Amino acid sequence: MARKHKSKRKHEPEEERPTRELDPETQRGIVAVLLFAAAALLFLSFLQIAGTLGVAIDHYAQLLFGWDRFLLPLLCILVGATSMFPDRGRFSTWNYLGILFFFLSFNALLNLLTAIPSTGPGQPTMLVGGYIGQFLGTILPNLIGFWGAIVVVCALLVVAVMLVFNTSLRGMIGFHTHITGRFGEMLHRGEMKRVMIEPAREEEEADEEPAEEISIDEAVDDVEDEDEEEETEAKKPLFRSKPLVDAERAQPEKALTIKKIRKMAIPLDLLEYRVNNANSGDVNRNMEIIYRTFEQFNIPVEMGDTATGPTVTQYTLRPAQGVKLARIIGLQNDLALALAAHPIRIEAPIPGKSLVGIEVPNQTIATVSLRDLMESKSFKARTNNTAIPLGKDVSGATWSAALEKMPHLLVAGATGSGKSVCLNTIIISLLYENGPDELKFIMVDPKRVEMKQFEGIPHLLIPPITKADDTVNALKWTVREMERRLDVLSKFGARDITSYNEKAEEKMPKIVVVIDELADLMSSSGREVEGTIVRIAQMARAVGIHLILATQRPSVDVITGVIKANFPARIAFAVASLMDSRTILDCAGAEKLLGRGDMLYTSAEMSKPKRLQGAYLSDAEIERVVAFLKKEGTPEYNHAITETARTGTVLDDGDDGDPLLDEAIQAIIQAGRASTSLLQRRLKIGYGRAARVMDLLEERGVIGPGEGAKPREVLVTEWPPAGSDDEIPTAQADLDEAAEMDGSDEEDDKIDPDGFPEQPRLPTREEV
């Protein structure tokens, strides 16, 4: 049999050596340096200080582009900057087409304007638009005349600007109006001196904003929102039944204000790129040891290929016909002894293959970075914005999973196995993919140290919760919010939140509830916590509410059967015993993991758990991302989430009414329509409170019922209504009071108990 083995070993593929691929960031840096150098060379050439080559470049650039040649260095700098910072905006094909149209139209316009002879016939001695401008500047006047050519060229110039900046005609007009208005306002207020003194600070703030998010349409929308807010402040109602807010709640109400937050493009440069290859040792020697070990126990096998991953190297083999897999699995300890490696994990069979995999720990473990996962082709090809990069498998391929398909996730493992780092990578990846108006977080951190670093980001609905009572209230709030969303989807006729947001005017953000330590909650409020978690897990998938639970004590009293049945997606890190592995995954394997991010992932779509090496995320990387988000926006907390639960709709304070109800009625009467987004802008309140106010207005008959995504009908024309109880007593009340006083004693009619003179008698009911 040894002779047979040697003959087959000749045809085995050689070990694939790891190749050092060029870092994508390095490639982009090289392109940026070359473009910057080209810009500098062009600029020096145009100044005639670049030698003979510079003179030639200037000559031909002048012939081709004319005066526009001075824009070429700026164009090279712009393209180089976008190449160096791709996450802040990239040029698309339409942008390049707009640049081409700009040069054609602008050069043609220059040629047309300078080609008008002042006295007598003749042509100008120099074409300021170059040959590019002469091409259109000569053909168009012959076809449609001079003024027709001016119209066509100006139209092309406007189209070019729209393509370059990806904006609309309305946006261009509004942006021009906004700029001129702001300039005049600064002159009127005397602010030009301050602007001239502090130009550097404003330029730095402008540079920090993502380039792809700066659009003229958004500037116009912001101007409209500011005008609406100023109009609301100028038209506050004169009468109010009670103050807007109490003194104690003035600050929380201020924190609940919501404004339209654009999607934040977080640069990937905030994350570190780690290049660290794994060392699997002598692969051929290990294959020989595995083959001889099976040969000693009379198990004929045929060795296959090897795959080196970040943590382990998988050796595949094909057992001979008639060999039971139980015999191979039973040799696990013998293989560990022969290879001098522990622990050994045997995957029999490999899903989708007629092979058995033997996973041997590497001598040197490679560190997987989150940035490496997010820059992989498989992650970039994701189809939704809730994809989570989990890690790399035993072959080095990137694995990711969509939170929408899970739709809830259970993470368990012993202390120090990588559980908290896994939660951080999930949160950071979701922050990269979603803006604050698309996804909200509710974070529960009984340990008070893990989630504290995320406090202050605009994606939070409430600061990280540390108390068990507040956690129970937050879960109950989530249940009621789930029920409210289900009612909205039912009335709208949508099956899930994705289809609803595609058609509805008022979008609903996804909500992710992250609980870092489930065991602490189950020990203090087990019945309430388990009931709310199970109900959310069963019904919240359609409305965009997801749960991520983590625990370091995977026992049956923490991960109960009911919870496990509703969490098909699970991640198991290294645990102490086989029993713990079965509690998490319903199978063995987690007790053989190595720790430090080594995990087994399973979902409803998988027949067997998949071994992955999770990404490592340092505290410094998290701090940089959090600092970036804090600069981009402020959180809008809803403190009603952790307050004592009440029946009915959840999303507001107050018992039967709202302090802003009168102001809301005035706002919708002035606007002539009613919608949640209108109340958010006019009253500066959050989405939850605006939805609650809409429900109150419908209950009191101020607005009509909802009709899908259309604004609601306003049923009143003035407020307070004429003859209401708050202003004038009713005639019936006057009659009742008069009749009551008429039936009193004569002595009481003359002198009242306080000794005051006799009061005139009010008319009786009959007299009236």
Q: How far apart are CA 486 and CA 480, in angstroms?
A: 10
Mean pLDDT of the chain: 75
Q: Does 181 score more than 80 pLDDT?
A: no
Sign of the torsion formed by the C-alpha atoms of 662, 663, 664 and 669? positive
| pLDDT the model gives residue 729 | 40
Q: What CATH number does the domain containing 490 carry?
A: 3.40.50.300
Arithmetic mean of pLDDT, 442-457: 90
Instruction: Lowest mean pLDDT of 82-96, 146-160, 175-189, name the range.
Output: 175-189
**Alpha helices (runs of H) in 416-555, residue ranges in sequence order:** 419-433, 468-492, 497-503, 518-539
Judged on CB neighbours under 10 Å (0-12, 13-18, 19+), 765 is: exposed
Shared domain for 374 and 298, answered yes or no, is no
Same domain, 736 and 611: no
Q: Which pair of tokens denotes residue 199?
A: 């130009």
pLDDT at 174: 60
Residue 161 lies in a domain: no
Residue type at 203? E
- Is the same domain home to 349 and 393? no
Tell me, what's the pLDDT at 485?
A: 92
Evaluate whether residue 117 is within a structural domain: no
Pick the most confident of 120-134, 171-185, 589-603, 666-680. Answer: 589-603
User: In this model, does residue 671 exceed pLDDT 50?
Assistant: yes
Do 355 and 419 sit in the same domain of this protein?
A: no
Say which residue, 683 or 736, is predicted with more confidence: 683
Confidence of residue 233 (pLDDT cuts 50, 70, 90): very low
Q: Which two tokens stand for residue 249?
A: 């709640």
8 A C-beta contact, residue 696 and residue 524: no
In a shared domain, residues 487 and 525: yes
Report whether pLDDT(126) > 90.
no
Query: What does the longest C-alpha to C-alpha distance in the chain come to?
Result: 132
d(CA 4, CA 479): 66
Strand, helix or coil for residue 652: coil
Domain end call among 296, 327, 361: 361
Decide which of 66 and 314 is more confident: 314
Residue of higher predicted confidence among 604 and 193: 604
- Lowest pLDDT segment from 350-359, 529-538, 549-558, 644-653: 644-653
Of 313, 337, 361, the position where a domain reaches its end is 361
Asked if 529 and 562 touch (Cβ cutoff 8 Å), the reply is: no
Domain around 766: 729-768
314 vs 659 pLDDT, higher one: 314
Tell me, yes or no, whether 696 lies in a domain: no
| Lowest mean pLDDT, pick from 22-36, 456-470, 551-565, 749-763 | 749-763
The answer to whether residue 225 is domain-embedded is: no
Residue 649 reports pLDDT greater than 60:
no
322 and 398 belong to one structural domain: no
Same domain for 413 and 486?
yes
d(CA 530, CA 49): 77
Which residue, among 439, 321, 317, 323, has the nearest Cα to 388 in the 3D structure? 439
Of residues 472 and 225, more confidently modeled = 472
- What integer pLDDT is reported at residue 762 of this predicted model? 47
Taking the model in full, what pTM does it have?
A: 0.56
More confident site: 756 or 600: 600
CATH number for the domain including 296? 3.30.980.40
Rounded Cα gap, residues 135 and 129, in angstroms: 10
Q: Mean pLDDT across the stretch 139-153?
A: 79
User: Is 132 inside any structural domain?
Assistant: no
Residues 482 and 511 in one domain: yes
Domain count, the chain: 3
What is the pLDDT at residue 721? Answer: 59
Whether 501 has a pLDDT exceeding 80, the answer reads yes
User: Coil, helix or strand for 447?
Assistant: coil
Examine the pLDDT at 631 and tell me if it is beyond 60. Answer: yes
- Do 283 and 353 fall into the same domain? yes
pLDDT above 70 for 235: no
Q: Residue 623 has what pLDDT?
A: 93
- Is residue 689 in some structural domain? no
pLDDT single digits (tens) 40-54: 888 788 787 778 887
Q: Identify the top-confidence range among 97-106, 109-118, 354-363.
A: 354-363
| The predicted structure's pLDDT at residue 115 | 54
State how far the Cα of 254 lies from the Cα of 685, in Å rounded to an integer: 8
> What pLDDT score was predicted for residue 127?
58
Q: How many residues does the chain have?
A: 768
**Per-residue model confidence as pLDDT tens digits over 198-213:** 444 444 444 444 434 3
Instruction: For residues 514-531, give the mean pLDDT.
Output: 86
Looking at the chain, the whole-number percentage of residues with pLDDT higher than 70 is 71
Residue 739 pLDDT class (50, 70, 90 cuts): very low
Could you tell me the two tokens for 197? 């003194």
Which pLDDT score, from 0 to 100, does residue 537 have?
92
Provide the pLDDT confidence category of residue 493 given band limits of 50, 70 and 90: confident
Asked if residue 553 is part of any domain, the answer here is yes
Query: 527 and 466 share a domain?
Result: yes
Q: What is the pLDDT of residue 26?
A: 75
Residue range 331-349: mean pLDDT, rounded: 90
Looking at the structure, do residues 430 and 289 belong to the same domain, yes or no?
Answer: no
Residues 343 and 395 in one domain: no
The band of 343, judged by pLDDT with boundaries at 50, 70 and 90, is confident
- Whether 734 shows a pLDDT value over 50: the answer reads no
The pLDDT of residue 528 is 84
Evaluate whether residue 699 is within a structural domain. Answer: no
Would you state the pLDDT for residue 724?
A: 47
DSSP SS3 for 409: strand
Final residue before a domain boundary, out of 330, 361, 392 = 361
